[in-house]
Amino acid sequence: MAAAKGNTKAKAKKESKFSKETYMFWYENMLLQRRFEEKAGQLYGQQKIRGFCHLYIGQEACSSGSVSALKEGDKYITAYRDHGHPLALGTDPKAVMAELMAKATGISKGKGGSMHMFDREKGFFGGHGIVGGQVPLGAGIAFAEKYNKTGNLCMCMMGDGAVRQGAFHEA
């Protein structure tokens, strides 16, 4: 019986699907996003961030995990809860915060705010304020990648509300 338990531990150790570095990337990425969003919420409460501020708290694992499946050149598009996505892709947190505060040093030069961030260098085609509005855009980006035979893909993040939109079914 004791030998069986020892064998199970050894077997469990061998079956780890991901490296320690991958687990650390996920943890550090999720922690960065959580702390960033907590600070953004605080600044929004102090009215230093104007307009809308849809926080990504509680969804950090979605962006952290999904970006590990991407490769160089892949594209990424999402809805209006978009602060965590550019952070997960490696965008400078200072540039994302500057965007929230409508500063010219922001990733969209301060014109996108909370819901419309873009980072072309990272392949991030932004957050979109219309529920499901990113779906046909993501399909178009994916089609362009296929048409141009790049071998790249477009990851389109959406919530359950987007599935109820006609654009989802048409795309």
pLDDT in tens, 105-146: 999 999 988 888 999 999 999 888 888 889 999 999 999 999
Global pTM value: 0.85
Residue found under tokens 């102090």: 46
pLDDT tens-digit map of 32-84: 999 999 999 999 999 999 888 999 999 999 999 999 999 999 999 999 888 99
- When pLDDT is averaged across residues 156-167 and rounded to a whole number, the result is 88
In this predicted structure, what is the pLDDT of residue 20? 93
In this predicted structure, what is the pLDDT of residue 162? 85
Using an 8 Å Cβ cutoff, are 140 and 49 in contact? no
Going from the C-alpha of 6 to that of each of 10, 16, 31, the distances in angstroms are: 6, 16, 34
DSSP characters over 87-156: HHHT--HHHHHHHHTT-TTSTTTTSSTTT---BGGGTB----SSTTTHHHHHHHHHHHHHHTT----EEE
121: CB partners within 8 A, 6+ apart: none
Q: What angle do CA 126, 166, 84 make, to 5 degrees?
A: 25
Using an 8 Å Cβ cutoff, are 83 and 118 in contact? no
What domains are there in the chain, each with its CATH number?
A: 17-170 (3.40.50.970)
Q: How confident is the model at residue 95 (pLDDT cuts 50, 70, 90)?
A: very high
